Each structure stands twice: as structure tokens, then as C-alpha cells.
Amino acid sequence: MVQPCSAVIIGVGPERGLGATLARYFATKGLHVFIAGRSEDKLRQVADAIRQKGGSVTCVIADATVGRDVGHLFETVQREGFQVDIAAYNVDSNIPAPLLETDEETFTRLWQQNCLGAFLFGKAAVNAMKDRKQGTLFFTGATASLRAKPPFTAFACAKAGVRALAQGMAREFGPQGIHVVHAVIDGVIDGDRARQQFPDYVKAKGKEGLLQLEAIAQTYWAVHEQHPSAWTHELDLRPFKEPF
């Protein structure tokens, strides 16, 4: 019996965030979505919005840095009878600090939330996909994945680690039919997080200078649909007005 398809997204926070937008978009494509994050209230709000649009969704409370939480997430997918078509690691934790003000605890926490969590999630996702020899695994990166700039050096170390993880996994599991993708978000996303943390920057950039959530989700889906003879492993997304 063929199992129904699903998408698993970890790092789902506010409704106007990338994790929530990916979940909503994948649900419109007919996938059952499993959304995971640390906040039950935020997950419930996102799930309600998906159901109101006719989509199907399951919420799982999970900390990406805890192996048993990640294991429980994928065990839930299996228990509910779904195969994993898409898995997206969307955790993006950042703490700005000049290097001499970055203590060991901060550096370790950033590595755990960005890099260790990506390893735990990616390994579990591949285990869920390998028997079918198909599926798409997304890692959401950042400008810092490619270059470090103070006061975000610790964050860049973690994000560069995620990129290296994605490269290694793509080479190891691509020949087995699993499409591993690293998406560099080279700019600021027009979501709740930026509007709350950097309101002046968001205003100065204007809508055309920010990455739009739905547009990112459309790109992820287009990459997921690629023929295996022409897969994209890494892509960078930025507003057309960005001089980079």
C-alpha cells in the first residue's frame, strides 16, 4: 500500500515566518504537513490557519537540539502512516556579539541550535527517505553561511557548519535518490521577526528590498520538483534591489 505524502518542517514559529509559510504552501500542494517547534501556542496558530484553508497538519513540540525530540517527530510521521516527501530544517538562531564579548556558552548555544540541530534533523530525515530512495531535504542558510561579518562571527561559524553538512550529505545521499538542498537567504525576510527586531531597517529597505515569504516558498517547491538529471544543490535568494 502506498503511503500518503508529507512535509516535515522544524523551526516553525510565528505565522509570518518562513517555517509557517513553507508549511502553508506545502499544504496547498496536497501534502500533510508536520510542523515542529518549541512553542505550542505558535504551532497551534499556524495549524489553525492551515486547516482553515483546507489543509491537513500535525503539530509536534520539539527542540531541534535534542535528539529524542527529533526522533519523536519522525516517529510521529511513521506512526500516522505518512512517507516523508520534503523535510526542511528552518531553525535560525542568531545572537549578535563582538568576538571578545562572545562567551563559551553563547558560542556553544549558537552551534547547537544551528549546526547540531541540522545534523540531528538531517540524519533522521534521510533515514525516513532512504528506503524509497527519494525525497527533498532543505537546509535554510543565511548570508553568514558564506562569509562572516562582526558582530555575527559566532553565528557565521555555525551557519558555515550547516553548509558543510549539506554539502557532505548531498554527495553521500544524492546518488541514493535523496535531493539535499542548501538555500542561502541573502537578505532580510519580510516577516514578524525582522519587523520586531529591526523596524527601522525594514522601513528603510521597503517591501521591494525584503525577501517575501511566499516567494521563498515558491522557490523551495520549484526546486523540490526538479528532475534528478538537473538538481540544484545550492541556491541563493535575495531581493532584486540588493546590490550584494
Cα–Cα distance between 238 and 186 in angstroms, integer?
5
Neighbours of 101 (CB within 10 A): 9
What percent of the chain has pLDDT above 90? 87
Grid coordinates of 61: 513540540
Compute and round to an integer the Cα radius of gyration of the chain.
17
The structure's pTM equals: 0.95
Q: Name the residue among 77, 79, 169, 75 with its Cα closest to residue 115.
A: 169
pLDDT band at residue 13 using 50, 70 and 90 as cut-offs: very high
- Mean confidence (pLDDT) of the chain: 95
Q: Name the residue among 204, 186, 182 with its Cα closest to residue 240.
A: 186
What are the structural domains of the chain?
A: 5-237 (3.40.50.720)
Strands 178-185 and 135-142: parallel
Strands 57-61 and 5-10: unpaired
Cα–Cα distance between 61 and 212 in angstroms, integer?
27
117, pLDDT greater than 70: yes
Question: Residues, the chain, total?
Answer: 244
Cα–Cα distance between 184 and 136 in angstroms, integer?
16
pLDDT band at residue 131 using 50, 70 and 90 as cut-offs: very high
